[in-house]
Amino acid sequence: MNLSEQLFQRALALIPGGVNSPVRAFRSVGGTPFFTKSAKGARLTTVDNQELIDFVLTWGPAIHGHNDPEIHEAIRLALDRGTSFGTPNPLEVEMAELILACVPAVKKVRMTNSGTEATMSAIRLARGYTGRPKIIKFSGCYHGHVDSLLVKAGSGALTQGNPDSAGVTPGTAADTLVVEYNNLPALKQTFQANTGTIAGVIVEPYPANVGLILPDPGFLEGLRECCTQHGAVLIFDEVMTGFRLSLAGTQGLHSVVPDLVCLGKIIGGGLPVGALGGKAEIMDHLAPLGPVYQAGTLSGNPLAMAAGLAAVRKLKRENPFLRLEILGQKVRDTLLAAAKAKGVPLQVPQVGSMFSLFFNEQKVRHYNQAIASQGDLYRRVFRYALDHGVYLAPSPYETAFLSTAHEGVDIDQACAILDAAVRSL
């Protein structure tokens, strides 16, 4: 029994399922999860001294790779000044200015401690602003473990085979309406059937918690039009895509401007963080100005702000998004060529530094098609890749990420392993 297996056995007696976030348990891919002792650049090193080229990247934040020197130094300097103050600190203002300068929809912003807190606050704010009770979400979109949003959720809930969660009351779920992603007629029908009661629509503009799904041409524009027509608040959950696909997130790829935006991951530089921003007239409904309460002891934590400022400022300075797109295309093309040679059905949706694998004959446009993919083939690819030095997400229903640290020998080596993994099927 190696050290990871020993640690997992100890953890099972102490932590539910042995993990502090469900998808880490490897339930859907089999085997025992490895434990990481360090990470640098594009690689993780396990407690058993196995080096892995990492396509999970702490689920998205590490766009510059692990333990980036600039982020490391920013945290060190902030640490010398203290870990938490419980008062406003200058870095909160600098982070707010930076977000407003980059994200078109954000005119005011409130920091939180996680993406889940940001989405929870966003739907409460939409309800408080409109005076309406109902929220529309899309099947397969995961917005954190908020009670009212754990309905047809993706990510870990889907991986565990529980699209809905025990402990969510029928009354809580009753005000959440679920629509199929990329289905504008269904969205319009839902609005018409609930006239005057829909406070807002929350969506991952590029759903990335059920694998990666790309929006059909015109879908996001139609969504914006519906919300405007019916006076509903349009909420973009860009916890994953924010500052990853462009400095403006998905808003840099199209002309659709939401009313509220939820951010996280990259703006914390690897430390816990979230943010909620949008139109000033809506944001001013938050306490202490307005009647919608939201608070957090560690919101705007100086360590997280220092790390996030370093991460985003480096993105602004280096503008690596074209480089990341080229890396994403290289991985996509490698996987598709291997699948064609092997004669297996594979879809590889990819945008910028994000991609996923669907073993499916048809392009995946929504949740039902995603879960109809052949998960057993993904599990075999995952296991081959892990055994040969590449770490993919331990679930068929997650998105893979690239960083600037993957350039060079790491991406070449990873592509060779992924090619062999698909050809081994």
Residue 363 bears catalytic tag = no
Shared-domain flag, residues 137 and 195? yes
Which candidate in 108, 134, 137, 237 is catalytic?
237
Residue 149, C-beta contacts closer than 8 angstroms, at least 6 positions apart? 119, 120, 123, 135, 137, 142, 143, 176, 202
Whether pTM exceeds 0.85:
yes
Quick one: pLDDT at residue 159? 38
Instruction: Write down which residue in 301, 317, 333 finishes a domain.
Output: 317
Per the structure block, which two tokens stand in for 102? 């980059």
CA distances from 302 to 61, 90, 111, 389 (A): 17, 9, 11, 36
CB 395 within 8 Å of CB 351: no
Domain that holds residue 291: 69-317
Quick one: pLDDT at residue 165? 67
Shared-domain flag, residues 45 and 117? no
Residue 356 lies in a domain: yes
Cα(198)–Cα(180) distance, integer angstroms: 17
CATH of the domain at 49: 3.90.1150.10
Quick one: pLDDT at residue 151? 67
Cα(75)–Cα(310) distance, integer angstroms: 9
Residue 18 lies in a domain: no
Residue 168 CB-density burial (10 A; 0-12 exposed, 13-18 middle, 19+ buried): middle
Instruction: Write down which residue in 289, 317, 345 finishes a domain.
Output: 317
Quick one: pLDDT at residue 164? 61
CB 395 within 8 Å of CB 24: no
Strands 51-54 and 108-112: unpaired
Residue 2 lies in a domain: no
Quick one: pLDDT at residue 318? 98
Shared-domain flag, residues 111 and 219? yes
Quick one: pLDDT at residue 155? 53
Alpha-carbon 129 to chain mean position: 26
Per the structure block, which two tokens stand in for 51? 């080096």
**Residue 222: helix, strand or coil by DSSP?**
helix
Torsion of CA 137, 138, 139, 143, to 10 degrees: -60
Which candidate in 108, 134, 142, 367 is catalytic?
142
Shared-domain flag, residues 79 and 140? yes
Residue 174, C-beta contacts closer than 8 angstroms, at least 6 positions apart? none
Shared-domain flag, residues 77 and 56? no
Cα(61)–Cα(114) distance, integer angstroms: 12
Residue 412 bears catalytic tag = no
Residue 286 is classified by DSSP as B
Residue 96, C-beta contacts closer than 8 angstroms, at least 6 positions apart? 108, 109, 111
Residue 34 is classified by DSSP as P
Shared-domain flag, residues 276 and 409? no
Q: Is 249 left (phi over 0), alpha (psi -120 to 50) or beta?
A: left
Quick one: pLDDT at residue 226? 98
Alpha-carbon 394 to chain mean position: 15
Shared-domain flag, residues 225 and 273? yes
Shared-domain flag, residues 53 and 85? no
Q: Cα(first)–Cα(last) distance of the chain, in Å?
A: 28
Q: How many domains does the chain have?
A: 2
Quick one: pLDDT at residue 161? 39
Closest among 94, 98, 96 to 110, alpha carbons compared: 96
Quick one: pLDDT at residue 153? 53
Identify the residue whose tokens are 């339930």: 27
Shared-domain flag, residues 403 and 359? yes
pLDDT digit string (tens) for 113-134?
Answer: 999 999 999 999 999 999 999 9
Residue 142 bears catalytic tag = yes
Cα(7)–Cα(272) distance, integer angstroms: 24
CB 163 within 8 Å of CB 152: yes
Per the structure block, which two tokens stand in for 73? 């130094």
Residue by residue, pLDDT tens for the chain (425 residues) are 899 999 999 999 999 999 999 889 898 898 999 999 999 999 999 999 999 999 999 999 999 999 999 999 999 999 999 999 999 999 999 999 999 999 999 999 999 999 999 999 999 999 999 999 999 999 989 898 877 776 655 554 443 434 466 777 777 778 889 999 999 999 999 999 999 999 999 999 999 999 999 999 999 999 999 999 999 999 999 999 999 999 999 999 999 999 999 999 999 999 999 999 999 999 999 999 999 999 999 999 999 999 999 999 999 999 999 999 999 999 999 999 999 999 999 999 999 999 999 999 999 999 999 999 999 999 999 999 999 999 999 999 999 999 999 999 999 999 999 999 999 99
Quick one: pLDDT at residue 152? 59
Per the structure block, which two tokens stand in for 299? 């919101």
Instruction: Write down which residue in 317, 337, 353 finishes a domain.
Output: 317
Which candidate in 265, 314, 378, 384 is catalytic?
265
CATH of the domain at 102: 3.40.640.10
